[in-house]
Every structure is written in C-alpha cells, then in structure tokens.
C-alpha cells in the first residue's frame, strides 16, 4: 500500500536522494543537505502549529511504500508565499501605441516584475520516483493535497497557485533565461535556480530589470517559450486545468513557465470531496477507486482504495488494514474523492 504522510527527520536520506533525482528546474528541492534538513524541521513545526491565519508554514509530505517502508515520492503545500522571502513573477501585459498623424496602432507585450501572488497558497514539490510512475499513483499523490486543503482550509491563502516548470534542455539551459543571463544577471540558469531554491534571492532585486521588458525585443527563441511548459510537466498541467486552474498572465522569472491559479473554494476536488463516518469490517467489492484521507493534521494520512459507497451515504465500511494505515478507529471520519 502507498501511504502519504507528513515528512519527519528520519526521511532525510530519502529526501536527499529525491532532490538528486529531480534534476534541474526543481527549485523547491535543491541538492543541499542543510536546506533539506531545514525544510523537514519547518514542515514538522508547521504540522503542529496553532494557526489563526496562514503565514509562512510549509506542509511537506512523503509517499511511503508500506511493504518496504521506502519513501518513493513527495508533495507539498505552502500556506502563504512571499511572507518571509520575496516571491517574484513576471506579469504579462500590453502597451498600446497609436498615432493619429501616421494612422498606425501597435500593441506590444510587456513583462513586468511583480509580487502579486504574495499571500497565496502554493502547490509544490511534487515528485514521484520512476518505478512508481504507473497506474494512478501520480494522480493520487497530486490530488491528495486537495483533500488536505479542503479539511484545513483556514491554514491556507484564499488563492492557490502552482508554478509550472518551463522549457529547458537536458543540461538545464533555458532559452528564456539566456537573454537575462547575458544582459543582467551574469550567472547561468542552474546557479540562479539553485540560489533561488536556497532562499538567497537578494540578487534578483539587485540585478533584475526594474522596468517593463518589451517581449518583441527578446531573442525569438526566448519569445517562443514564454508561458510554455516542460514536456515532463504537461501531465501535471492538464491535471490542474481539470481542477479549474488557469493561467492569468503570470510566468516564472527564470524559465518563463506559466503559473496557474484557482480560488481554494473553487477547486473541483475541494468542492467534490466528502466526509464519511468509518465502520470497520469486510469491505464490499467495488470497482470505484477513491483517494481517502483521515481528518487529522500532525498525523495526516492519505491513500487510495476501492470503496463501495452509496450516492447519499454518510458511512462507509473499510478494512482493518486500511484503518490501521490511516490511523482510524470506528466512528472516525474520512474525507474521500473519486479518483
């Protein structure tokens, strides 16, 4: 069985391995032991913190194979970005130039550095190791976060965003970043992305262009990838679009990948998830697969299971094995979402 749970200190080696496997552009897990230990400690503190309103909490979770007790994936939610460190984006806009004298009208796209998503919750750090990328494992890992959002909504910003990885090659070179490196930053994409992941972002404010950038003046290869996603990221984007996420004209400052957003209460999975009371016994056969989570915080658990549930039922029978892995006893509630 695959179980999603909060990360803990003993998962450090597994997290470090995942950071190495995730490759270039996976900013939220840089290969840095001190930072990864800090992320784990921050997550452990966030899961037990009393929260009146979201601030800088981070909820990092792992996917564990209960047969081998091996960590095989990660997923996370940031409560409210930009509250401690600046959270930069480019905002796509349009400037209009018109001359009545010569009867010419031009619309020019611009990129403006901004902090517009400050305070938004963020879906991030989604990674599944290669041997487990089959069936519905990836979908379960990603969508399980919506059950957590639904259950603990007050701990998160009203808007939820996700930064989609932009176009880069196998060596981590980004066509969009090339012009920025040449004219402004002077360091390569991998280094800039790594520093950003470490939280060392002062260089952005010091070296990024302070005025709007005219898209038409960028190299053609840079223009082409604005708002485009990396090939490996397309399935994740499609999943989020099905949940109601849309790009509102914001792109990443390094690789030009799109950021998508949705109000927390408008996310389809949040709206469609249900609470049911648990009974423990022999589970009836069913061909309907659900993502299932308990309603706890520090002891949050989630998995997938085939459940027999009547349309308007408020109870469900689960096996003793499933109850044990989800830390449930008879009479507890679970939150479910159809796969």
Listed in order, the ranges of the chain carrying CATH 2.40.40.20 are: 273-338
Q: Which residue has the tokens 């976060």?
A: 145
- Token output for 3: 């179980």
Beta bridge partners of 205: none
Give the model's pLDDT for residue 301: 97
Structure letter (DSSP) for residue 1 = -
Q: What angle do CA 293, 62, 200 make, to 5 degrees?
A: 125
Question: Which CATH architecture fits 273-338?
Answer: Beta Barrel (2.40)
pLDDT band at 223 (very low <50, low <70, confident <90, very high): very high
From 24, 89, 152, 230, the catalytic residue? 230
**What is the per-residue pLDDT across 160-169, written as a single tens digit (0 to 9) for each?**
999 998 887 7
Give the model's pLDDT for residue 60: 97
Residue in 92, 163, 147, 87 with CA at minimum distance from that of residue 119: 87
> Among residues of the chain, what percentage have pLDDT more than 90?
60
**What is the per-residue pLDDT across 90-110, written as a single tens digit (0 to 9) for each?**
999 999 988 888 888 999 999
Give the integer Cα–Cα distance in Å for 185 and 183. 7
Residue 337 has pLDDT above 90, yes or no: yes
Give the model's pLDDT for residue 189: 67
Residue 178 has pLDDT above 90, yes or no: no
Give the model's pLDDT for residue 100: 85
pLDDT band at 180 (very low <50, low <70, confident <90, very high): confident
Give the model's pLDDT for residue 194: 62
Taking each helix axis from N to C end, the angle separating 137-151 and 234-242, rounded to the nearest 10 degrees, works out to: 40
- What count of other Cβ atoms lies within 10 Å of the Cβ of residue 76? 21
> Average pLDDT, whole number, for the chain?
89
> Is 152 one of the catalytic residues?
no
């Amino acid at each position: 069985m695959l179980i999603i749970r909060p990360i803990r200190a003993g998962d450090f080696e597994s997290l470090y391995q995942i950071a190495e496997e995730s490759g270039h552009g996976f900013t939220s897990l840089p290969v840095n032991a001190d930072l990864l230990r800090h992320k784990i400690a921050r997550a452990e503190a966030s899961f037990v913190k009393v929260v009146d309103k979201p601030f800088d909490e981070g909820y990092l979770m792992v996917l564990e194979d209960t047969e081998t007790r091996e960590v095989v994936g990660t997923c996370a939610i940031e409560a409210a970005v930009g509250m401690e460190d600046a959270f930069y984006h480019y905002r796509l806009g349009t400037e209009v130039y018109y001359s009545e004298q010569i009867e010419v009208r031009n619309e020019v796209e611009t990129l403006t550095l901004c902090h517009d998503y400050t305070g938004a919750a963020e879906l991030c750090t989604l990674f599944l190791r290669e041997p487990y990328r089959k069936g519905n494992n990836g979908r379960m890992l990603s969508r399980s976060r919506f059950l957590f959002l639904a259950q603990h909504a007050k701990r998160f910003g009203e808007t939820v965003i996700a930064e989609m990885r932009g176009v880069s090659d196998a060596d981590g070179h980004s066509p969009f970043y090339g012009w920025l490196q040449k004219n402004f930053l002077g360091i390569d994409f991998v280094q800039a992305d790594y520093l950003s992941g470490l939280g060392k972002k002062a260089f952005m404010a010091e070296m990024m262009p302070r005025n709007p950038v005219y898209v038409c003046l960028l190299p053609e290869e840079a223009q082409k990838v604005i708002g485009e996603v990396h090939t490996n990221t397309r399935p994740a984007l499609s999943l989020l679009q099905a949940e109601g996420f849309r790009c509102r004209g914001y792109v990443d400052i390094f690789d030009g990948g799109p950021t998508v957003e949705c109000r927390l209460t408008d996310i389809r999975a949040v709206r469609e998830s249900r609470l049911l009371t648990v009974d423990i016994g022999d589970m009836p056969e069913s061909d309907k697969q659900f993502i299932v989570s308990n309603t706890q915080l520090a002891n949050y658990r989630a998995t997938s299971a085939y459940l027999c549930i009547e349309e308007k039922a408020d109870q469900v029978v689960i096996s003793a094995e499933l109850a044990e892995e989800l830390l449930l006893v008879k009479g507890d509630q679970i939150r479910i979402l159809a796969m």
